Chain A
Amino acid sequence: MIEVEGLTVRFGGVLPIDEMTVTLAGGTCGLIGPNGAGKTTFFNVLSGFVKPVAGAVRAFGEDLLAMAAYRRARWGLRRTFQTEQAIANLSVYDNVRLVHENTGGLRGTRRQDVMDAVAFVGLDREAHRQVGTLGVGERRLVEVARAVVGQPRLVLLDEPAAGLPDEETEHLGELIRRIPQEIEAPVILVDHDMSLVSGCCATTAVLDFGKLIASGPTAEVLRNEHVIRAYLGTEEEV
């Protein structure tokens, strides 16, 4: 349960997020909108990389914005990045272990927890390979493994399917659908791939120029004429 209230971010004269108020229930929630709508900025606010000028974010009753950025990971916030950021110099295993050991994961269960996360994304056979030697699809999976290790409480996926071929996007979609049940953490998914969003997300919110223009069940939102006009710029069927 993530409650966002009156969230406003200002970059000079621009308001990338303008009085955003939305409640995100459990499960997987989509966040869509045209480029520059403020989706990544919203994630950066949640991660602590951008400070809002007004508004509040309460996650499971706790004030997320009051926490130091690196402590939010310990609290249970996980995220992936639009430009994939798996650490090239470390092995798959060490990439995931890095998150586990820095977020208060217990030493005794570390090996098991890390291998579970690696196996969750299906990279257990590549666990000791250097991430720098992997392809882009596998690196995206490493990021997902990093996002699910160590009992996360909220998983943010920022365009995880960007640059992936269709069949890998499909595999990723399956993983994303499994996160709320198996990892027991809600997911917020930002992506431009509408079939991925509608396939994974029961509810979806739409941002346009920093303003929330629609939210609700995904199918309804995607039929909303404001959304079609803002997001697709045409009257075409979705």
Chain B
Amino acid sequence: MKASDRPEVLSPTTSGSTAPPSLQQRSDPGAGALRDLHLSRGLLVRLVLGAGTLLLVVFGLPGLLDSFWLKIVTSVVIYSIVTLGLGLLIGRAGMVSLCQFLFMAIGAWVALRIDYATSLPFPVLVLIAGLITAAIGALVGLPALRLSGLYLALITLMAAGAITVLLRIAQFPNGGGGFFGNSSAGGATSRLPRPAIAAGDTAYFRYCVVVAALMFLLAVWHLRGKPGRAWAALRQSQVTAVAAGVNTILYRLWAFALASFMAGVAGALLAAASGGVNINQFPVQNSILLLAVVLMGGVYSIWGAVVAALLLRLLPALLDDWGVSTELLTILFGIGVLQVLLTAPGGLVDQVPKDLANLGRAVAGLARSVTGRAKPPEASP
């Protein structure tokens, strides 16, 4: 196949990568010469938009929500950090992991354990939880040096299973003694004390938004820098990356470590959220659910992570509120993933704007054909 035969957008190519068919390389959505020529202005606009949205979310949103929905959106914010990491791993580095959900549990566990043992401030706990989870993530990522696609998914799913088993044995620390820090008298649910500046639910929501924003900046910083380019090369093909001098071992493990760092940070935040954490919150099958929403949200844009978190946390709550069975979600997500794999590799964050634009054109075309009868109705593209 000649390269010139490829369509420019949405082109899953046959370049020999072993990722699932529609997850292979493709042009970034909307990436044209125009945007690249006005890179700095485009960046400025995006920064302003991002900051505006952030301010709106931080200060506007809590006032509109009661305590139940505030709890839900807080968890959306926390989960968006995990989906961000997994999205980067799949979309940018071209690898898959099914243990990110359980890495949240590890992050929560580490933060709780260290909190019971020391009096370190909350941000330090979050950071340590992230770093230790990153180290474990890099270990679990070792098979990724040899395996990809289905086999890597299988290995990471088994790792997730192993973590669940260990978690059942160890339980979350609740002030007991020993290495595991758990005593049967302490109750099944553990909660990390919040920082003094974010003791209330609203303040903690804002705190989480700030941490999530930092994680998104960390992601952008990676993607615009040397790691992002190295991952782009790796995703295209291993030999291209090696021929360009990319240390493929380092960058593969780094991608795993970064995604796991984010999962660990999210886990620590989750441990301090309302309700705390208990072991029943982390069933293995949620790993697959997490993968599904990340694919549906879109792995080629970091904003896909927000959509994914909304699908994962807000949608079930909404369905529940409307009296619809949340069992329906499994079916919906199944159809959604099928749709993404078959027709919309960019996910919702890429597809919805396109669909809206198409709809707009169709409506405009219809309006033209109704008002101006002079010319026959033309098919909209």
Q: Contacting chain A: which of B109-117, B129-137, B229-237? A: B229-237
Assess the A81–B239 pair: CB atoms within 8 A: yes
CB–CB B32/A133 < 8 A: yes
The interface bits of chain B over 230-254 (1 if a CB of A lies within 8 angstroms of the residue's CB, else 0) are 1011011101111111111000000
List B contacts of A211 (CB < 8 A): none
| Contact A129–B232 (Cβ < 8 Å) | no
**Max chain A C-beta neighbours (<10 A), residue from B33, B235, B248:** B33
Q: Which of B15-64 contact A (CB under 8 A)?
A: 15, 25-28, 31-33, 36-37, 39
A79 at the interface (CB under 8 A from B): yes
A6-52 residues at the B interface, CB under 8 angstroms:
47-49
Alpha-carbon distance between A84 and B245 when the two chains are bound, in angstroms? 17
Contact between chains at A133 and B2 (CB < 8 Å) = no
B243 x A47 contact (CB < 8 A): yes
The chain A residue sitting closest to B3, CB to CB, is: A136
Q: B230 and A85: CB pair below 8 A?
A: no
Task: Note all chain A residues with C-beta closer than 8 A to B27.
Answer: 88-89, 130, 132-133
Q: How far is the CA of A74 from the CA of B246 in the complex (A)?
A: 9
**In the complex, which residue of chain B has the Cβ closest to the Cβ of A44?**
B239
Q: In whole angstroms, how far apart are the Cα atoms of A89 and B6 in the complex? A: 13
| CB-contact partner of A85 in B2, B37, B240, B246, under 8 A | B240
B183 to chain A, nearest CB (A): 51
Residues B240 and A87 in contact, CB atoms below 8 Å apart: yes
Inter-subunit contact A102/B244 (CB<8 Å)? yes
Given known A84-B3, A89-B28, contact A98–B246 (CB-CB < 8 A): yes
The docked-state distance in angstroms from the alpha carbon of A170 to that of B28 is: 32
Question: Which one of A48, A69, A163 has the greatest number of beta carbons of chain B within 10 Å?
Answer: A69
* Cβ-defined contact, A74 with B239, below 8 A: no
Q: Write out the residue numbers on chain B whose beta carbons fall within 8 Å of the beta carbon of A135.
A: 4
The answer to whether B242 and A73 have CB atoms under 8 Å apart is: yes
Given that A101-B229, A130-B31, A139-B3 are known contacts, is A88 also in contact with B242, CB under 8 Å in the complex? no
Residues of B within 8 A of A83 (CB): 3, 15
Chain A residues within 8 Å of B236, by CB: 85, 87-89
Q: Give Cα A76 to B13, complex, Å.
A: 30
- State A79–B237 Cα separation when bound (angstroms): 14
Please determine whether B242 and A69 come into contact, CB atoms closer than 8 angstroms: yes
Given A128-B36, A129-B33, A135-B4, A99:B240 Cβ within 8 A: no
Enumerate the 10 nearest inter-chain pairs by beta-carbon distance, A residue then B residue, closest first.
A73-B245, A102-B245, A132-B27, A136-B4, A103-B245, A128-B36, A85-B240, A98-B229, A89-B232, A136-B3
9 contacts between A and B (CB under 8 A): A85-B15, A87-B233, A88-B13, A98-B230, A102-B247, A103-B245, A130-B27, A136-B3, A163-B4
Q: Which residues of B contact A (CB under 8 A)?
A: 2-4, 6, 8, 11, 13, 15, 25-28, 31-33, 36-37, 39, 226, 229-230, 232-233, 235-237, 239-248
